[in-house]
Amino acid sequence: MITVIGSMNMDIVVQTDNFPVQGETVLGQLFTTIPGGKGANQAVAAARLGSNVHMLASVGTDSFGRELLEDLKANGVNTDSVMQTEEAATGIANILLSEGDNRIIVVPGANYLLTEANIKRMKETIQQSKFVIMQLEIPIPVVKYTLELCRELNVPVLLNPAPASGFQLEFMDYVAYLTPNETECELIFGQNMEATLEKYPNKLIVTLGSEGARYFDGTKHILVPGFKTTAVDTTGAGDTFNGALAHALGQSLSLEEAVRYANASASLSVEKFGAQGGMPSHTEVVKRLEGVSN
């Protein structure tokens, strides 16, 4: 079982040909609301691949909150530990899609009402988990508390440090895996990526978008190449990578095999619209790994 402790957002997506510059108004082509949030996305990614996933999160009692809960349930994620609060609106992410890229503003809302007490109540579930996955869209003290609890319970944590601004260097002592993208890696550790990777062998895995992902195995640098794909929407690719990585490690794949599996999953995820739209099943990933086009 995998436990995901993280955010649930309704993604409010607008697609446009050009990002507006400051003070400019442009016309868009599409507006839609669609389930997202790094926590929920990573939970769905792992569940679609076949993991038994428990979600611990907080949403509002509003219609967005209800929709997000339904979405998780439809994807087979256990939502018994998702708290519903009247004290804040469900988190949202304002996503601008253009030029094959995205720009995201998150308003955390109910996500920021998750407390240490909520985590404490999940102690048994956490204890039974092969992995706990977290990101940084929930209060940082709660992340810190969870890291301490997981260490006490001897449960490995995969931490995706996004958004990177909340990351604290001391977290490195607690995590089994840290999975920043290149930008997040530089923000957290500075510019010398090679030296940083060497400092955290088999622990720091830097995702490189379509190029794949890299880490240091204690002796040499490993670049696990990405898979060729035609991207429709890259939102959620990193989340797919993380959910898939935890799933694969949970199936006792080696780190290199698991990263390759996660790369294949992420490459499939960008082929459909929406953060969760293209998240693949295990069968689809196997086909991609074998070079069979879908």
Catalytic residues: 239
CA 37 to chain centre: 8
* Beta carbon nearer to ligand RIB, 35 or 216: 35
* Beta carbon nearer to ligand RIB, 140 or 195: 140
Shortest Å, Cβ 207 to ligand RIB = 12
Distance from C-alpha of 46 to C-alpha of 59, rounded to nearest angstrom? 21
Taking CB atoms, the residue at the shortest distance from ligand RIB is 36
* Beta carbon nearer to ligand RIB, 122 or 162: 162
Concatenated DSSP letters of 156-219:
-EEE---SGGG--GGGGGT-SEE--BHHHHHHHH-S-HHHHHHHSTTTB-EE-GGGEEEEE-SS
DSSP state of 272: S
Shortest Å, Cβ 11 to ligand RIB = 5
CB 132 within 8 A of CB 5: yes
Say how many residues make up the chain: 294
Shortest Å, Cβ 138 to ligand RIB = 11
Shortest Å, Cβ 226 to ligand RIB = 17
Distance from C-alpha of 229 to C-alpha of 218, rounded to nearest angstrom? 31
* Beta carbon nearer to ligand RIB, 118 or 235: 235
Residues that bind ligand RIB (CB under 6 A): 7, 9, 11, 36-38, 41, 93, 104, 106, 137, 235-236, 238-239, 275
Write out the two tokens for 83.
């708290």
Query: Edge-to-edge, what's the strand order for the sheet holding 101-107?
Result: 28-36, 9-16, 91-98, 101-107
* Beta carbon nearer to ligand RIB, 151 or 272: 272
Shortest Å, Cβ 36 to ligand RIB = 2
